[in-house]
Structure formats: C-alpha cells, structure tokens
Amino acid sequence: MRALSHRLCISGATSPDGHVRLRQPRTTAENCSICCSFSSRLPTLALRCPMRVEAVGATGGNSRWERSDDVSNGPCSYAVGDRRVEDLAADGGNDEVVGVSEEGNKAVKVVVAAGVTVVMGVGNRVLYKLALVPMKQYPFFLAQLATFGYVIVYFSILYIRHHAGIVTDEMLSMPKAPFIAVGLLEALGAATGMAAAAILSGASIPILSQTFLVWQILLSTIFLGRRYKVNQLFGCFLVTLGVIITVASGSGAGNSLKEGGIFWSLLMIVSFFLQAADTVLKEVIFLNATRKLKGGSLDMFVVNSFGSAFQALFICFLLPFLSKLWGIPFTQLPNYLRDGAACFLNIGTLSSGCDGAPLLPLLFIIVNMGFNISLLHLLKISSAVVSSLASTFSVPISIFMFTLPLPYLGVASSLPTGFLAGAIVLVVGLLIYTWTPSNGSSGASFSAST
C-alpha cells in the first residue's frame, strides 16, 4: 500500500509572541503542481504550490526578510524523486515502460541476428557447392581443414578478446565437461552424417534434415522445461512441410529415399538428433553460465573455442573410421592429405583440375565460420528452435540461388515445380510461429485526490 503524505507550501511570518502566522496563498488548478518523491521502498505524494515565505523577527523589528520561490515546474506537473515525470516518461522511466522497451530491443536484436543467420546460411550452402568444384576429389580434406582450422582461428580470437578484457578469467574457468560433451556430439554427428550421406542421394538429405527441428523441440521440452504454444508447434510443422515440398517437387526424392534404404535414412536421422542435442546443450551452457556468472553473459567464443577443440580431438580418434567412409584406406591417408593440400593451394603438378582454389575453398571456410558464429549468437539471445528456423529458412533461398548463373557451376538449374508453393507454406509457418495473440496491455497509473 502506498504511503501518501501532503506538504502544503505556505507563507507565514513570526508573530510578536514567537509563533508563526500561516498565510495560504491563493491556490488554483493553474498554478498547483504535484510532487511525488520515493523512498527506497514506498512512494510518497506531496502537493506543491507556489511558495512565499515571510519571516519577521520576534520583536517585529527591522530584521525582516522575505523570499518568494515558485517551485512549480509548469501547470499541473509532478516529479518522481528529484526528476520530473515528463523527463521520466520521455526516458521510459517507470518499470513497465522500461520492461516493454527492453523486450522491444531484444526482439529487434533477435530479428537482426536471424536475418544475418539466414544470409550466412545461404552463403554457406552456395559456397560449399562452389568450393567442391576445385576440391571435388578431396572433400574429406576440405572437411578436416575446416575442423582443425577453426580451432586455430577461434582460439586466436579468444586470446584477443581475453587480452582486451571482454573474456574474463571467470569465463575461462567454467567447467569443461559440457564442452567435452559438445565436442563429442559434434564429432559423432559429423561421422554418422558422412556415413549416411555417402549412400543417400542429395535430394533426400534436405528432407531428412527437417527432423532436426523436431528433435530440438522435443529435447528443449525435456531438458529445458520449455512449453510451446499451439501456434508455435503448428508453425514449425508448416516450416518443415514447406521445405519438404520445396526440395521434393520434381526431384524424385521419394524414390531416392526408398533406394537409399531404411537403415541409412535412420542413420541420417540419428545424425540430426546428435546435432540437435548439441545445440540444446549449448543453450543449457549459456543458461547455467548466466547463473554462475551472477547475471553475466558467457562469451560465445569460449563455447566455440573449447567445443571445436574437443571436436577436433574426437575427430582424430575417428579418423580411421571416417577415412574408410570416404573410400580412403587409412594407410594412404597421409598421401591423400598431401595431394589435397596441393590442390587447395593450387600449386605443383597435382593441382590439375583445381581451378578456383584457393579462393573458393577459403571463401567457404570464412563464410562457414561466420555462419557458425551467427548461429551461436542467435542461439544465445533466443533459443535453439529459433536458430533452427532461421537456418531452415535459408534452404529455399539457396535453391533459388542455384538457378542463377553462378561461376564455375556451368548451366544453372531450374526451380522445382512446387518451389513457390513450398516457399509460401514455409513463410506462413514462420509467421504463425512468431505470431503472438494480443492479450491487451495494462499500464500502471495512479491518481491523487485531495
């Protein structure tokens, strides 16, 4: 309950007997102001009028002094503490306005981050296809170059940020067990995905990748206790359906799935399960770090650096298995890596047919790194499902980009017959997911009666 107090601004003078005579100046609605001052807990409200103070000595002699002080800040204005409410209103001074402003700023940040993620996702898909033009014989070398190259780049950025004071010692002292789990999930996800991709057709993989969103929703519900509204679940369903329509139309993906076999399709689904678990685990890491850092935010390069380091470590253990998946005997792996490096650098007699290197592979690695950073940043400020939706939205845009006359790819491909229908379904799904029913807004207000 708010404590209410009134202070009458008076004019008066001392009488010969030492008492104070009070004179209430004329007070009207035009020259009255209201002052509201707050203690640490409870606010108090005081009426403030133009003030005239007249003090006369006890003997009524010549020691008379007079002061007139108009304390009003304007017609019918009031102040909170030592600030006028007009200023606070302009600043969003009350708690509710501040909360709404913060939510609005966060929404803008999420939208901008999602847009950057979509752009990076499109560039990542397109440049990967372009990078494989000179590296078509050495895709395994390109994958391992990216994996181990990220460790060097991420830790270099982490060192710079730590030296600049952005990354604190407390951040670096976070428990490493979650990062080990991140590295293991990413390594296993890559291994199972490579194994299945070697058998399945290219048209079926984007369709199976839509299980990634389903896994994220399920894992977020189990491990984060997150509850999704009906419109969000329906929106995710439409997004998945839209991508499937876009990819499958005219590509014979249904027959490709049958030809690939149920085992390899299930293995690819397991790969996306591992990747979804990885993103949810990263979200858990950020949430736990906020509590351990007492409201502070864990720098994402800490997660990227240590996660990539442990992923590279597990990849080393899996190299015999992974090389066999790519049809490279483990004993011949050193020669393969040497030839892949020569093609990547586009030097020597082994670089025949490597036109476009090293520019295209380097562009892919840089954009892929930017995509991973933007995806992790979006995950940090929103959720795993939102980051997944942004990544998914890049699929139909990438398909459209391949219809353009891109260099090194030769004849541009044509759009699937159901591309437009699938894109419309996908966009409608995104709109439904982000739509929030209006419950009305209740603003805090108060009035004083005298």
- Residue 237: the pLDDT is 93
pLDDT in tens, 114-140: 999 999 999 999 999 899 889 988 988
pLDDT at 26 over 80: no
Q: Does residue 358 have a cis bond before it (omega within 30 degrees)?
A: yes
More reliable by pLDDT, 173 or 9: 173
- Residue 32: the pLDDT is 45
pLDDT in tens, 264-281: 888 989 999 999 999 999
Assign 260 a pLDDT band (cuts: 50, 70, 90). Answer: low
Q: What percent of the chain has pLDDT over 70?
A: 70
Q: Identify whether the C-beta of residue 413 lies closer than 8 Å to the C-beta of residue 402.
A: yes
**Cα 108 from Cα 112, distance rounded (Å):** 6
Q: pTM score, two decimals?
A: 0.71
pLDDT in tens, 52-110: 444 444 444 444 444 444 444 444 444 444 444 455 445 545 555 555 677 778 889 99
pLDDT at 25 over 60: no
Mean per-residue pLDDT for 185-197? Answer: 89
Q: Identify whether the C-beta of residue 241 lies closer than 8 Å to the C-beta of residue 433.
A: no
Tell me the pLDDT of the chain averaged across its residues.
77
Beta strand residue intervals within 70-117, DSSP E: 78-80, 83-84
Which of 47, 281, 48 lies closest to 175, judged by CA?
281
Euclidean distance between the first and final Cα of the chain, in Å?
18
pLDDT in tens, 193-235: 888 887 877 667 888 888 998 999 999 999 999 899 999 999 9
- Residue 257: the pLDDT is 56
pLDDT at 177 over 90: yes
pLDDT in tens, 36-50: 444 444 444 444 444
Rounded to 10 degrees, the C-alpha dihedral 36/37/42/44 comes to -50
Residue boundaries of the structural domains of the chain: 140-199+262-333
- Residue 448: the pLDDT is 38
Mean per-residue pLDDT for 321-340? Answer: 87
Angle between helical axes of 211-223 and 230-248 (0-180°, round to 10): 160
- Residue 443: the pLDDT is 35
Q: Any bridge partners for residue 46, and if so which?
A: 35
**Cα 316 from Cα 310, distance rounded (Å):** 10
- Residue 364: the pLDDT is 94
Give the DSSP letter of residue 19.
P
More reliable by pLDDT, 436 or 177: 177
- Residue 353: the pLDDT is 79
